[in-house]
Amino acid sequence: MAGRKTTTYGFSSASKLLQGRIRQAAEGRGFAQTRVLTHWEEIAGADLAGIARPVEVSYSKGGFGGTLTLLTTGARAPMVEMRKEEIRARINAVYGYNAISRVRVTQTAAVGFAEGQVDFQYRKKDSAGAMPTPEVQARARAVAEDVGDADLRAALERLAANVISRTGRD
């Protein structure tokens, strides 16, 4: 059987086209290798990647190993702070040497100044945004039907629909 001849007909994969630009941008932010950025969820784990992300690696003069700065929201900073040593060990295991000697946690508000806004791309998908079934909506409407104010009634219907869909009781 003859070997299969493969060709790309002059095309390259998107990752190969962007690899140089990503590396250049990452090096400008302090990442000598982009693996921490591109494989953050695999390195840190899905639970940690959902609440924190790497923003900078800095190196001191004459020091061995860098300082990784992680960005998280204020409420989740203590959870990330407690896991700093675990994060450092995981990253160093990926690089194969003591590439990161220190992990620093910085916080930002979820809303506010444009620079301070944070969006974690590795959020777990949950069913909180899903529309309740018509049966649940009807049960919720029945719960809030005696309320006279339309805005309050609508808010109570949404609350009742969430409670009914999660717990199954009125």
What would the pLDDT profile of 136-163 be if each residue is shown by its tens digit? 888 888 888 888 888 888 888 888 888 8
Contacts of 98 (CB under 8 A, 6+ apart): 64, 65, 92
For 22, other C-beta atoms within 10 Å of its C-beta total 14
What would the pLDDT profile of 42-81 be if each residue is shown by its tens digit? 888 888 988 888 888 777 776 677 888 898 988 889 999 9
d(CA 105, CA 66): 14
What would the pLDDT profile of 5-26 be if each residue is shown by its tens digit? 666 676 767 766 666 665 565 4
The percentage of the chain sitting over the pLDDT mark of 90, rounded to a whole number, equals: 9
Question: What's the whole-number average pLDDT of the chain?
Answer: 75
Closest of 110, 114, 104, 109 to residue 55, by C-alpha: 104
Contact at 8 Å (CB) between 85 and 122?
Answer: no
